[in-house]
Amino acid sequence: MKKIKAVIAALAVCTALSATTKDEQALYDLVSRIAPQHQNNFVFKQKKQKAETYTVESKGGKIVITGSNAQAMAVGLNYYLKYVCHTTVSWLVSSPVVMPTVLPPTKRLTQTARCNDRFFLNYCTYGYTMPWFTWADWERLIDWMALNGINMPLANTGAEEIAYRVYTSLGMSDEETRSFFTGPAHLPWHRMSNIDKWQGPLPQSWLKGQLALQKKIVARERELGMKPILPGFSGHVPGALRSLFPNAHITKLHNWAGFRDETSCYFLDPQDSLFAEIQHRYIREVIKEFGTDHIYGIDPFNEMKLPSEDPAYLAAVAKGIYSTLTDVDSQATWLQMTWMFYFDKATWTPERVKAFLTAVPQDKLILLDYWGEYQEIWRLHEKYHGQPYLWCYLGNFGGNTHYNAEFNKVRTRVEGTFKDGGSNFSGLGGTLEGFDINPEMHEYFYEKAWTNYPTDEQFLQALADRHCGAEDTTFRKAWNTLYYDIIDSPGYAGSPNTATEYPRLNKDNQPYKTSSKIANDNVLAFNVWQQLLSTKHTDNALFVYDAVNQGREVLGTYFYCLRNDFSQACYARDIAKAEQKAKEMLQTLDDLDLLLGLHKDFSFNKWVDDARSWGQTPEEKEYFEVNARTLLTTWGFKGHALRDYARRTWHGLVAHFYKHRWEIFINHSLNAARKGIDVDPENMKDDIYQFEWNFTQKLADADLTEAPVNGTPVEVMRRMVIKYSPLIQQQADQNASNEGQEKRVKVTPHDFY
């Protein structure tokens, strides 16, 4: 062991000696983290230029990457890894980086950045994916961001410790201040002025731990050429502050998303002198702890009713926020999402938007066109009246696990914005709410920030090779079908796997019915699953992820068809058929849960274990687990309007949460059908809501211990393909027959053995 450490240390010294600039050293360090066996096979050379540019080439048996800065060199490195080495660096640290034993030579390639700004993350991502991230998770994510050219990451970790210091310095007690905050998984909506206190108070250990983590995060981000977007004060204050400052203009905001009065937020008018005092203290603490790159993320009215709709008031709010920033940081720039302009477009009229935006000096307010693939806000509001903005790809709400990524539409809209977006269009941004969906789409998206980017065909071919670990014709064909015929289809970013939906017998008082298109599409998806599993190259971890991911989509759609058949049978009072379909539904859920257990990235256990790892006492561990369970299930209190918003098709959650809900639904539905009456929806709802609440609060028995699996992941999935092949074909034939259509789509025979 000592000899190994000595060798590693010697290699590190040699690498360090070859670097002459900080940016070069940052790239050598990056290689040492993701591919340490090859850290001496790369040469990085910084050549400062006006435009961000890189060149990759082979020289003297080494891969030489020349770039204008760390960002450009990192993008060049990633291009070489993806398109020459067939290597993917995932944003999840759990995914190993598989490199060739000998680095292959490459043709010379040069790319130049087409835009200055590349933003990543979303307030919501800090809840739906990252609340329990450790430094190991962040370290990989930051490396992924660098490799994909991101230079403006949202950096919200540790914000509560800053707020804690400010409010206690103003006279609030420790308990009052910590009770102001929500539980960790809900902090994004606290930061956006939506809810206070829910599942608080935060432990002191959390405040200190997150502060220490944020220091590491921003240091590494800057090392790799990024400008972290730090938090600023938006006007959201604790209600308890009113007793300390009775003359301050503090307004109680309306209840958000069905939450109750006790969680309501309070807004301090930016024209009040107390606002400036809090902003000054806040920004000074931020700069003291984290330094600054002079960009601050502030979103004062996310999904909230405005205290006043007067354009003059909105202009005063914007002016007040910006001026109090520059009181402390004369170079300050304010960054804000534009989700509110879409979400509440009836309130945010062109006149009000213009008043709000133009109250800030030109180029000092950066706007995120939040959901560009669905609604381009810049086209509705005169290109934001000259303020710089970024076209953003959202991709999913709540991290729902569902295939949908309209890359053709995204590419077309991005190119349209480059062409017509005006001189104030400054870049691209990723605003995903969760990571557990279509990660390759985000790699595809960020390639559009550079000249000479690969065609869709080149991207998909390289993607298939990377995920297979070799050049495989069948695997490439599967990925082409998957993307062109399944993933790249019109859809809604919040559409989940049916197995995780709230159980209902009908829609709009009509029994569910499966169209032949859905059944045929599932045959197509099944054939892709079968093709993926036909490859001989099954050792790659990304291959297993892909196969499980495809399988969960197939079984989820098959479950959808079974649920619809069950619904039809109950309405027809065909008890025998309903009982048979109920049995098949539950068996499919068991198989789905077994499938998900084949890859650790689909594990509810991991989510729970990660949450508990932040606890320093048994009580804290229990506290964090309840908070983690709540967000993905009920979201809020029992029966809350946002329940299932963050649903996940995960191992353990399917078996112990979703399956039990379907069992309640099936029992109520069958009992009613046997009596010849309609289901009492309120009675069923009460039973489901109570079960859900018991699960979140750990009142229901649920042993999350993972059972041993008989066989390798590939062997298990191939057995599932053999089992479901006739069932899925039968479903497609049945629905085609019901609609008088020819049976056009066929399950292709497997050739596993």
Angle at 32 between CA 26 and CA 36, to 5 degrees: 160
How many whole angstroms separate alpha carbon 655 and alpha carbon 331? 53
| Predicted pLDDT of residue 703 | 75
Nearest CA among 625, 533, 555, 497 for reference residue 183:
625
DSSP letter at 233 equals -
| Predicted pLDDT of residue 704 | 77
Is the distance from CB of 511 to CB of 669 less than 8 angstroms?
A: no
Give the three-state DSSP class for 186.
helix
Around Cβ 574, how many Cβ atoms within 10 Å? Answer: 14
How many whole angstroms separate alpha carbon 141 and alpha carbon 477? 30
DSSP letter at 485 equals I
Spacing of C-alpha 161 from chain mean position: 24
How many whole angstroms separate alpha carbon 624 and alpha carbon 599? 24
The number of C-alpha atoms within 13 Å of 555 and in the hemisphere containing its C-beta is 30
- For residue 730, give Cα distances in angstroms to 35, 231, 566: 48, 55, 16
Is the distance from CB of 404 to CB of 489 less than 8 angstroms?
A: yes
Nearest CA among 323, 139, 313 for reference residue 232:
323
Segment holding 314, helix H or strand E: helix 311-328
Q: Walk along the chain (753 residues) in steps of 10 and give the mean pLDDT of each run.
A: 48 57 98 98 96 98 98 99 97 96 98 99 98 99 99 99 99 99 99 98 99 99 99 98 98 96 98 99 99 98 96 98 99 98 97 99 99 97 99 94 84 99 99 91 98 96 94 93 85 71 88 81 93 91 93 94 96 98 98 97 96 98 98 97 95 97 98 96 97 92 78 96 96 84 73 62
The number of C-alpha atoms within 13 Å of 226 and in the hemisphere containing its C-beta is 30
Around Cβ 536, how many Cβ atoms within 10 Å? Answer: 10
Is the distance from CB of 81 to CB of 462 less than 8 angstroms?
A: no
Nearest CA among 83, 90, 91 for reference residue 111:
83
Around Cβ 184, how many Cβ atoms within 10 Å? Answer: 26
| Predicted pLDDT of residue 521 | 86
| Predicted pLDDT of residue 9 | 45
The dihedral of CA 716, 721, 727, 732: what is its sign?
Answer: positive
How many whole angstroms separate alpha carbon 682 and alpha carbon 680? 6
| Predicted pLDDT of residue 6 | 47
| Predicted pLDDT of residue 705 | 77
Around Cβ 363, how many Cβ atoms within 10 Å? Answer: 12
C-alpha torsion 154→160→164→166, nearest 10: 10
How many whole angstroms separate alpha carbon 485 and alpha carbon 395? 18
